[in-house]
Structure 1
Amino acid sequence: MVATTLILLQLLTLPVQDVALAEPIPPADARTLATHLSEPCPIGTNHFSDIQYETVPLDDFRTNIEQKVCTDPDTKIAFVHNVIESNATDHFTFAQQIYFEVLRETPAHKRFGIIEIEAINTLPLVPEEQKSEWKTKIESKDKSLAHDIAYFWSIRDPVRSTQINERLSEHWQRIAHARKNYTKNTDGLYGTDDRGTIFVRYGKPTIERSGLLSPSNTEIRSKLYDLSFFKGGIDPRELYNLNMSIKQQYMPKYYEVWVYRNIEKKQPLIFIFGESANKGTFGLRKSLEDFIPNGSFNMGISSSWRYDTGPRGLTAGPFLQMALYDRLSTIDIFFGKQLASYEDNWMKYMRGHLNFNSFKMISRSPQAEMALQRLQDRAPESNSTMEERLNLISQHYKSYRFLDEENNPYRKLVLFSNPHNNLISYDAVISQHQKPVYKLTASVDAVNREGRSILIDKQETFLRGDLPGTIATLLSIPKQSATASDSSKAIMISSEVSRIPQLKGEESEADRYILASAVSRIQESSPLNSSSDKIEVSDIIWGYRGKEKTNQIEEFHFIIPPDDRLPQGENLAVYFETYHLNAGTDSLYQYQVEYSIHRKKRRKLRDTGIRLTLNLSSASDRGSENIEIQTADLETGSYRAVFRFLNPEIPGTTEERYIDFQIEDQP
């Protein structure tokens, strides 16, 4: 509708001589008309509507945009949509470039339609807690929504250094696949049936089963056999009537079951698609009961026994329930559990532990629908399968809060990357006479309100010969990115490994190709106190002075472990900074540090006898210390080191920090 309106507006604004007035243009010719009127810059259209519009070839279209022949945002979005439609991956990088340009520039003009279309198309992937905010912005035509879309995709980019956003590319490829393969109807958001929406959200299912959903005859016969002995048995003619009722009231319908086992660890995610027994439309079903006609739960063996509260009042519905769940019980335990629940109620009824009305009420209750809904509600809004295609590095980080020389808060990050396992297979293809040289790039970037990625810090480590295990890299986040006050910003930390070219002609390929990567979003934390009214202390960085050099940070002169383990026989090394000190009578800034080591046992702290008070001084109102605590003689177990910082010039002003660690045997 949006596109058709735009075409009509173009017709109204054309000179009279450019419009053929001989006869009205039939609707069937609308595509040709749109192409003719809009070349060389095809008009922007809703790519996911039922009406599709032809365009000039993509190569020519791109050239016109690059050469500024086509500058209108509608036109640029039309190019993006046609790239998606044709799954033209060779144009993805350029398409994403102009896609983000339009989103960032759109608030400057009045075309909210572009924002609305892109927001609606992205909405199924948005976390539930943000959906209402997006919907409100769509209804109020809030142009800041454009930046929300750009931000949404920017923080999901799995490889930060490349020009292309691989997660957005995956999304576009899923849309193209869905539009090609899931078109039993085009009522869905992406011009597909409901399968297309689920595919765009979660990708290819782990298990996919489809066909005509016919009930299990074995299950039905076994239940009719149970009835033949119910309280001395019932008339065989009535059993025959019930069997015929079951067969007559159910017509096998086409179904599909999708099971995802790679999204939730504890339980699978299941979707059921098929033709509704009551409406006849194909779509997402709430449960297998949607394949059973409503009348199957209303009519008894015969109309004369309709109000019977005994076996003659049984309907086809409960039998079909058990038969359908039995048919699909081999797909996933979910269906087996529902079958077991229905059969348990059946046996209670057969044994007289459940009266007829209760049995009938349970059969008609939406218990299976509610169970399936719970599975779907617990799942994330979307899932990427990039892990299966990217060589993801195992990484994590430790974050520490500090104040700079001007008392502005910032953070130090120690990033632990372990690329070794990722590159073993790659090493296998390298000549054994030539040891490969790798480059590990650790970086931190901030994504601002407009979805722009701004590099904050980057460190490179060259790895020669055999790859080490975990590698520690120190990074910093300055004040403008360290605070947690701006909830619309995200700080991303990443590791990327590339191979340094050893042969001539490899340079360009090596620069483009990332062998392994990882990215994480840094959790927000409250910054340190910047005011000078009381003593303030940084977070404590701790480690030990071992022989290995892999995780040794030069700034602190000790090894920082990637976890909370301290090898037995090693002394605890700590680094901290103090701020807002007061000068004493000798013009030095004095402060005290009291520390004690406690054994953690049964949720209680037991004194180990290791405690000391240090009287320290600094030439300025801030100090920094590297100290070593004698823990080499402690036995294995869990411990806590408690530090109290005092400013003797201002009695009663103290600050406390603690660290937990495990002493374990050295391997």
Structure 2
Amino acid sequence: MRKILQILICLPVLLMGPQVLSQIASGLPSDYYKAGLVHRDAGDWMAAVKSWVSAGQILQRQQKTDARIGISFIELITEKKTVKYYELACEMYLWGFSPGGVQKYNKDIENEVERIVPLLNKDMRKKWHSLLKKNDPQLLMEIKSFWINKDPTPTTATNERLLEHWQRIAHARKNFRNGKNTAYGTDDRGLIYVKYGEPERIARGSLGTKRADFKVWTDFLLDGKETIASDATRRARPGQRAAEQSFLIGEIARFNNYPEYEIWFYHSFDTDEPISYIFGNLEGIGRYGLRDGVEDFIPGRAFLRTSSYRTGVSPGAVLQSVYYSELMHLRPDFEDRYNELEQIWNSLGSGKSSLVINNLFRMKRQGFKTADKFNPATASVPSEKSNVDQTIPKVRMLVSPFRFLNKQGLPNIALVALSYPQIRMDTIVSSQGRFPDYSVTHTAITYDGNHNEIRRQSEALHSGDDNVYTFILPHKDIQNDFMIITEVFHFPTPSSADTGRFDISPEVIALGRANIPGLLPLSASKEFLELSDLLIGVKNPGETESQRLPFPLVPSSRILATDLLKIYFEIYHLYFDEAGAVHYTIDFEMAQLQGKKKKKEESISLSFNFDAYQTTSNEEFEIDISKLTSGSYELLVHVTDEISGQKKFRAGNFEIVE
């Protein structure tokens, strides 16, 4: 944790009471957690908060962690909506997932995993469950990394996405209580709410409550029977129709449980139609939960042959038509299904036997159930959706990692950050009717193998600059991960009443970030040939300060066909011959990619031989790409030391655009 945990609160020890003091004196982390539970369960939640804050401070000084404290603290703070503790809650949660607790607190870690896995894709869920089964400490890093990477404002102490997650859990526990079958102690509505938040629209109601609806379909049944009956038979029973219809409605009603439904609609997904989720009791009387579709509200026995013995057509077919007729205004596919069922009803008087008619209804039902279970629209939506990351426009970024050896021969990494702010100026037009100035800040954060922040560096650029900066950082450990954040700030124009004020806070109007996973540092051993990474881009216009771009090109992943392709890399540890010279060869291979294959007809091969008198060489090349077709390309650079015979290669990718 950063210093905020150390200085935010100093809890008077006397507040804990003699029993808790004796527990703390024992030095057992589990006692700290239980001390807070005693307060919480007694209804004194504020005492629990203070107890856990103090425990976090003590454990941090002892270089220990307790995931249970971090989880329970953020759970309590978000439930009580105690905003002043939000930053600390985020800090304590992440602190709790430092190494060392996966075996000691296995059950608590398992519960937390189950609360997060609904937000993961299939591969990540499988990976996390595998790590949990093996009690692998890497699981703690996975949890911590997940939330760090979800943080929409990583330069601040508050992780809005983490808070949103727990706020959703608190809301779900309070409002969705028709069961406790989810990891959140809620019914299935809680699961969907935690994943996607508040739906844009909700439809609720009960099905099959209107007797008039059943009269319509029993008229079909009676009309169908009369069509195939003789005139004499019809004249012999003119007064029996009403009684027979009442009987039919009663037979169908035996299977109608008046199921209550609740349908949630999400319009913000990138789909042709809104994504919807249907909730209700199975067959109208069973367990409440997420249903595949309307068919789940109809008892399966309503389609059995024995059920249709006295009605001619299965009661389930009538329930289908009634239910879809009541819901078809909500979804286009409900209306389509209603029309398909109506076509079968229209064939009643065509001379087809009731057996054939019932088989048609059963086949249609099976088709509907299969379509509901394997709905491609629902399967294509993401595992989770946040509202907090939609409030700030995104900044397009290109971050080029460049591993190299510095003048002292030590491994470094340069992170060249180039941002393209797509700023919505219409939202920040000044009172004078002109676009105000904005500033861009690039921040580089370095994480250790436990995903703890170990270094942070920020540089501010002003409007008019070219929004590029290069961070030069030590690179000693493959476990070091890096994050680059771009923030675009606007200072609101002060009103006349604000003249002379210097405390007007800047507003973040755009945000972007890029993650660079751990890369193997270059070797500092002079016995081995070494090669930096490739920088691929276009010519530096010469106006960028060398501190912000210390390389002779501007990195780019997309190159215009009319531009020269620029390549820069560095060679280290070349061997001298007896005359004190070095001799090396550089081979270039560039080929267009078609999927994973290379197109030989769109390729370039070049080879150069060099003699020099230094063991290190900085190489800069320009290649004419004007005759190549647009598309994605792979560039391979091979370097051979002719004295030692050692070889090294690097690869890079780029795209040629018209």
* Counterpart position of 1:294: 300
CA distance, structure 2, for counterparts of residue 406 and residue 321 of structure 1: 78
Query: What is the CA distance between 1:169 and its match in structure 2?
Result: 0.8
CA distance, structure 2, for counterparts of residue 650 and residue 147 of structure 1: 42
Please identify, of 227-236 and 145-154, the stretch whose mean Cα deviation from structure 2 is larger: 227-236
Summarize deviations over 1:164-204 as a string: whole Å, max 9, x none: 11111111211222233323445543333221221112111
CA distance, structure 2, for counterparts of residue 496 and residue 131 of structure 1: 32
* Counterpart position of 1:556: 551
* Counterpart position of 1:394: 396
CA distance, structure 2, for counterparts of residue 478 and residue 136 of structure 1: 34
Contact kept in structure 1, 2:559 and 2:655, CA below 8 Å: yes
> Residue 187 and residue 645 in structure 1: after superposition, are their counterparts in 2 closer, same or farther (change >3 A)?
closer
* Counterpart position of 1:414: 416
CA distance, structure 1, for counterparts of residue 396 and residue 41 of structure 2: 45
* Counterpart position of 2:619: 625
* Counterpart position of 1:160: 154
Contact kept in structure 2, 1:44 and 1:78, CA below 8 Å: no
Q: Secondary structure at the match of 1:167?
A: helix
Contact kept in structure 1, 2:444 and 2:482, CA below 8 Å: no
Match of 2:172 among 170, 178, 181: 178
Query: What is the CA distance between 1:273 and its match in structure 2?
Result: 0.6
Query: What is the CA distance between 1:428 and its match in structure 2?
Result: 1.3
Q: Secondary structure at the match of 2:423?
A: helix
* Counterpart position of 1:320: 319
- Runs (5+) with no aligned partner, structure 1: 1-12, 15-39, 306-311
Contact kept in structure 2, 1:182 and 1:196, CA below 8 Å: yes
The one-letter code sitting in structure 1 at the alignment partner of 2:441 is L
Please identify, of 291-300 and 498-507, the stretch whose mean Cα deviation from structure 2 is larger: 498-507
Matches within 5 A, 1:498-513: 498-499=489-490, 505-507=501-503, 509-510=505-506
Query: What is the CA distance between 1:63 and its match in structure 2?
Result: 4.7
CA distance, structure 2, for counterparts of residue 596 and residue 112 of structure 1: 52
> Residue 295 and residue 452 in structure 1: after superposition, are their counterparts in 2 closer, same or farther (change >3 A)?
same
Summarize deviations over 1:302-344 as a string: whole Å, max 9, x none: 6457xxxxxx2x2021332244334333433454565566667
Match of 1:255 among 250, 253, 261: 261
CA distance, structure 1, for counterparts of residue 394 and residue 544 of structure 2: 20
Are positions 1:385 and 2:387 aligned together? Answer: yes
Summarize deviations over 1:23-70 as a string: whole Å, max 9, x none: xxxxxxxxxxxxxxxxx99845599xxxx8343363x55455556699
Please identify, of 358-367 and 163-172, the stretch whose mean Cα deviation from structure 2 is larger: 358-367
Are positions 1:588 and 2:581 aligned together? Answer: yes
Match of 2:486 among 484, 495, 499: 495
Match of 2:570 among 556, 568, 577: 577
* Counterpart position of 1:283: 289
Summarize deviations over 1:127-170 as a string: whole Å, max 9, x none: 43344555566677777755554343233222111111111111
Match of 1:55 among 43, 59, 76: 43
CA distance, structure 2, for counterparts of residue 191 and residue 134 of structure 1: 21
> Residue 654 and residue 393 in structure 1: after superposition, are their counterparts in 2 closer, same or farther (change >3 A)?
closer
Match of 1:125 among 119, 125, 136: 119
CA distance, structure 2, for counterparts of residue 662 and residue 139 of structure 1: 47
CA distance, structure 1, for counterparts of residue 347 and residue 644 of structure 2: 77
The one-letter code sitting in structure 2 at the alignment partner of 1:474 is T
CA distance, structure 2, for counterparts of residue 46 and residue 210 of structure 1: 41
Contact kept in structure 1, 2:200 and 2:266, CA below 8 Å: yes
Matches within 5 A, 1:419-498: 419-422=421-424, 424-425=425-426, 427-429=428-430, 435-446=436-447, 448-449=449-450, 451-455=451-455, 458-464=457-463, 471-475=467-471, 479-480=475-476, 483=478, 491-498=482-489
CA distance, structure 2, for counterparts of residue 542 and residue 584 of structure 1: 32
Summarize deviations over 1:342-396 as a string: whole Å, max 9, x none: 6677789998799457535424537435534544444443222222233433334
CA distance, structure 2, for counterparts of residue 118 and residue 597 of structure 1: 48
Are positions 1:92 and 2:94 aligned together? Answer: no
Query: What is the CA distance between 1:583 and its match in structure 2?
Result: 2.8
> Residue 259 and residue 80 in structure 1: after superposition, are their counterparts in 2 closer, same or farther (change >3 A)?
same
CA distance, structure 1, for counterparts of residue 589 and residue 126 of structure 2: 50
The one-letter code sitting in structure 2 at the alignment partner of 1:519 is R
CA distance, structure 2, for counterparts of residue 350 and residue 619 of structure 1: 99
Summarize deviations over 1:202-251 as a string: whole Å, max 9, x none: 11123322222348977994796499469954689577755554455324
* Counterpart position of 2:205: 211
CA distance, structure 2, for counterparts of residue 639 and residue 113 of structure 1: 48
> Residue 490 and residue 578 in structure 1: after superposition, are their counterparts in 2 closer, same or farther (change >3 A)?
closer
Are positions 1:517 and 2:511 aligned together? Answer: yes
> Residue 244 and residue 473 in structure 1: after superposition, are their counterparts in 2 closer, same or farther (change >3 A)?
farther
The one-letter code sitting in structure 1 at the alignment partner of 2:162 is L
Query: What is the CA distance between 1:514 and its match in structure 2?
Result: 3.8
Query: What is the CA distance between 1:84 and its match in structure 2?
Result: 2.4
> Residue 391 and residue 597 in structure 1: after superposition, are their counterparts in 2 closer, same or farther (change >3 A)?
closer
Summarize deviations over 1:70-125 as a string: whole Å, max 9, x none: 96966776544332222222321122333334443872995555444434433433
> Residue 166 and residue 559 in structure 1: after superposition, are their counterparts in 2 closer, same or farther (change >3 A)?
same
Query: What is the CA distance between 1:420 and its match in structure 2?
Result: 4.0
The one-letter code sitting in structure 2 at the alignment partner of 1:446 is Y
Contact kept in structure 2, 1:499 and 1:515, CA below 8 Å: yes
TM-score (norm 1): 0.72
> Residue 132 and residue 233 in structure 1: after superposition, are their counterparts in 2 closer, same or farther (change >3 A)?
same
Q: Secondary structure at the match of 1:277?
A: helix
Identity %: 22
Query: What is the CA distance between 1:280 and its match in structure 2?
Result: 4.1
Contact kept in structure 2, 1:194 and 1:284, CA below 8 Å: yes
Match of 1:271 among 277, 282, 298: 277
Match of 2:190 among 193, 196, 210: 196
CA distance, structure 2, for counterparts of residue 585 and residue 413 of structure 1: 38
Q: Secondary structure at the match of 2:551?
A: coil
> Residue 112 and residue 400 in structure 1: after superposition, are their counterparts in 2 closer, same or farther (change >3 A)?
same
Q: Report the count of equivalent residues.
A: 599
Query: What is the CA distance between 1:650 and its match in structure 2?
Result: 6.2
